[in-house]
Amino acid sequence: MSRPRRARDERGSAIVEFVWLGVLLLVPLVYVVVSTFEVQRGAFATTTAARSAARAFALAPDDAAGREAAEVAARQALADQGIDGVDVDVEVRCQLDDCHSGTAVITARVDTAVTLPLAPDVLGGGKPSFALDASHTVPIGQYQEIAP
């Protein structure tokens, strides 16, 4: 004589399914939000670095010192925003041969990248990163102080 089969008790299974579904959807969502914030922080830092580089170049006494000052200012601006240890390319251009003369207009461009958080180095090409660039233009005034 066989016993009658009892119906399977499904109490609590909705909670388990909800938790698993929540984890499966929440983890990618949190990753996207954190990555977006990291890229936005890098964009703000790159914009600030370009502005600082252009201003540092414009305030330097000559072009050679200006290029060095622009590089230092860009790296410092990135470090202030927590972007350290990344490759930074600072390019300064102007229309004239002497960028510190009369009515020259200086354009500083900063190229860098931010590494996406928690992204593994699976494909062997380095950690995934997001390239960023910014430029800032500063006019050199027609009236300048002349050193005695």
Count CB atoms within 10 A of the CB of residue 101: 13
| Residues of the chain above pLDDT 70, percent | 82
pLDDT at 144: 60
CA distance 64 to 17: 65
Its pTM stands at 0.76
* Sign for the pseudo-dihedral over CA of 89, 94, 100, 103: negative
pLDDT at 12: 65
21, burial (CB in 10 Å: exposed 0-12, middle 13-18, buried 19+): exposed
Give, for all 148 residues of the chain, the pLDDT tens digit.
566 666 666 666 778 888 888 888 888 898 889 889 999 999 999 999 999 999 999 888 888 898 999 999 999 999 999 888 888 999 999 887 778 777 788 999 999 998 887 766 665 667 788 899 999 998 887 556 666 6
pLDDT at 148: 64
pLDDT at 104: 84
CA of residue 8 relative to chain centroid, distance: 55
